[in-house]
């Protein structure tokens, strides 16, 4: 399925001067991808599309939004009520952030399951974590912009995390605020940075894909690509599969967008920010809840902040904590169990984060915070004693094995 004719004189003329056609061919068309990628591998492209959706809707919102403490809330309501399709674009942006995180979290868990962080993809993995951190910063600052009660108090609580630092903490917080509380200067700088960060994310995504295309995709067997028998050209095989994934994910997105657009938000954010009155329950957006739970599980301010930071930073050393020579959990019976415990731990911490830090929740939070970190700490030992199941001879062989030498390889494995 050639998308363009390489012998066309115009194509040749342009390509000689700026190799856009060669580049597209090398990275989107003839790029060799393992032939056995399953539907879990769709979430990378879905996350990429969500980034585009966020930037497109965000640029539109910036045309109508007014970043001042007096007018921010009113201008959001202006978008919702007066601007043509403003409600659609704003709900797309608000729910799109959640969809972006859903796609990225599944993408990360998939990488962990199939050992995609292991050599030679450590820098690819790092770039992914950097993207996650940038997304978190961007999402946090974006949530402040509507200037509702949860915006204001979320900003207050999260910026106060820095006050845990000894000696310089208070100065840093004042510097972040541009004053002595969250106020107009804070809103303005958050708006500026919220506009900037998505483009930084784009840059990080570019490096992420560069590293990916340099060492090629991992795959469900975790085996290296040995030759052309193991791969298919990206187009049409994965272009059509990615579009299918995006369409199905679009249905999921649309259900939230059109029928429950406020289900993932907090009611308090429809009340204007009031610096004199804190809402009864302050909770961050759902995608921060596991980290929030870890923060609150530690009964010491500075240690809590450190634990929360460590829960993400520890991902950077995951490639070295995992000492197994086998990548994919498919062939690692013990790691597979641990992986699912880890997934459940993250979900439980999410539930804990949504509930008040008292009574039984405090203890559940502490137990699962412990399990969260233990997952990483036992990995080196697991790699040492675990006996992997026998590996297939190669990617092509594993595909043939699974389909019984028959027709197509990965039907019916719905994501």
Does the protein bind other proteins through residue 251 (CB under 8 A)?
yes
Catalytic-residue membership of 35: no
Give Cα separations from 303 to 61, 134, 166, 217, 299 (angstroms). Answer: 38, 23, 11, 38, 8
Does the protein bind other proteins through residue 261 (CB under 8 A)?
yes
Q: Which of 4, 199, 206, 258 binds other proteins (CB under 8 A)?
A: 258
Q: Which of 38, 77, 162, 378 binds other proteins (CB under 8 A)?
A: 77
Q: Which of residues 349-408 bind other proteins (CB under 8 A)?
A: 351, 355-356, 359-361, 364, 403, 406-408
Catalytic-residue membership of 285: yes
Q: Which of 68, 87, 298, 301 binds other proteins (CB under 8 A)?
A: 87
Catalytic-residue membership of 241: yes
Closest to other proteins by CB, 177 vs 342, is 342
Residue holding tokens 């190799």?
Answer: 19
Does the protein bind other proteins through residue 89 (CB under 8 A)?
yes
Secondary structure class of 148 (helix, strand, coil)? strand
Does the protein bind other proteins through residue 340 (CB under 8 A)?
yes
Sign of CA dihedral 63, 69, 71, 77: positive
Reading the block at residue 380, the tokens are 């080196």
Closest to other proteins by CB, 5 vs 254, is 254
The whole-angstrom separation of Cα 409 and Cα 101 is 29
Among 15, 25, 230, 242, the active-site one is 242
Catalytic-residue membership of 45: no
Q: Which of 70, 82, 170, 401 binds other proteins (CB under 8 A)?
A: 82
Does the protein bind other proteins through residue 165 (CB under 8 A)?
no
Q: Which of 31, 40, 43, 91 binds other proteins (CB under 8 A)?
A: 91
Q: Which of 15, 31, 35, 293 binds other proteins (CB under 8 A)?
A: 35
Angle at the Cα of 186 from the Cα atoms of 185 and 188, rounded to 5 degrees: 65
DSSP readout, 339-398?
HHHHHHHHHHHHHHHHS-SSTHHHHHHHHHHHHHHHHHHHHHHHHHH--PPPPPS-HHHH
The whole-angstrom separation of Cα 179 and Cα 175 is 7
The whole-angstrom separation of Cα 366 and Cα 209 is 37
Catalytic-residue membership of 281: no
Give Cα separations from 153 to 88, 135, 230, 278 (angstroms). Answer: 26, 20, 53, 7
For residue 255, the minimal CB distance to other proteins (Å) is 7
Among 213, 272, 336, 402, the active-site one is 213
Give the count of residues interacting with other proteins (CB under 8 A).
66
Q: What are phi and psi of 411, to 5 degrees?
A: -70, 155
Among 35, 118, 194, 241, the active-site one is 241
Reading the block at residue 262, the tokens are 């406020």
The whole-angstrom separation of Cα 234 and Cα 161 is 45
Which residues are part of the catalytic machinery? Answer: 213, 217, 241-242, 285
Residues that bind other proteins in the complex, under the rule CB under 8 A: 35, 56, 60, 63-64, 74, 77-78, 80-89, 91, 232, 236-237, 240-241, 243-244, 247-248, 250-251, 254-255, 257-259, 261-262, 267-268, 270-271, 280, 336-338, 340-341, 343-345, 347-348, 351, 355-356, 359-361, 364, 403, 406-411
């Amino acid at each position: 399925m050639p998308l363009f004719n390489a012998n066309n004189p115009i194509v040749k003329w342009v390509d000689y001067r700026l190799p856009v056609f060669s580049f597209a061919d090398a990275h989107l068309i003839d790029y060799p991808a393992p032939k056995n990628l399953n539907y879990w591998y769709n979430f990378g492209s879905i996350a990429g599309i969500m980034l585009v959706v966020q930037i497109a809707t965000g640029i539109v919102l910036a045309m109508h939004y007014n970043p001042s403490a007096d007018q921010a809330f009113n201008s959001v309501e202006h978008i919702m009520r007066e601007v043509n399709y403003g409600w659609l674009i704003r709900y797309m942006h608000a729910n799109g952030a959640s969809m972006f995180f859903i796609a990225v979290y599944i993408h990360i868990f998939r990488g962990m399951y199939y050992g995609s962080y292991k050599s030679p993809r450590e820098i690819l993995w790092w770039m992914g974590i950097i993207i996650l951190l940038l997304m978190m910063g961007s999402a946090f600052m974006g949530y402040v912009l509507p200037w509702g009660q949860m915006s204001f108090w979320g900003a207050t609580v999260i910026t106060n995390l820095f006050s845990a630092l000894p000696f310089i903490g208070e100065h840093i917080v004042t510097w972040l605020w541009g004053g002595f509380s969250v106020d107009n200067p804070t809103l303005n700088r958050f708006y500026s940075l919220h506009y900037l960060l998505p483009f930084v994310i784009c840059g990080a995504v570019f490096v992420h894909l560069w590293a990916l295309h340099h060492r090629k995709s991992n795959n469900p067997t975790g085996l290296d690509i040995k030759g052309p028998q193991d791969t298919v050209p990206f187009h049409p095989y994965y272009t059509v599969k990615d579009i299918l994934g995006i369409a199905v994910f679009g249905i999921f997105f649309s259900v939230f967008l059109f029928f429950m657009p406020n289900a993932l938000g907090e009611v308090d954010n429809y009340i204007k920010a009031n610096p004199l009155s804190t809402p009864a329950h302050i909770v961050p957006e759902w995608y921060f809840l596991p980290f929030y739970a870890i923060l609150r599980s530690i009964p010491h301010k500075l240690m809590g902040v450190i634990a929360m930071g460590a829960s993400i930073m520890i991902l950077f050393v995951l490639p070295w904590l995992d000492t197994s020579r086998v990548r994919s959990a498919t062939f690692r019976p013990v790691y597979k169990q641990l992986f699912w415990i880890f997934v459940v731990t993250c979900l439980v911490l999410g539930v804990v984060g949504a509930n008040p830090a008292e009574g039984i929740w405090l203890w559940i939070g502490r137990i699962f915070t412990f399990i969260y970190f233990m997952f990483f700490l036992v990995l080196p030992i697991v790699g040492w004693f675990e006996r992997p199941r026998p590996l297939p001879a190669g990617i092509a062989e594993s595909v043939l094995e699974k389909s019984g030498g028959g027709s197509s390889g990965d039907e019916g494995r719905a994501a």
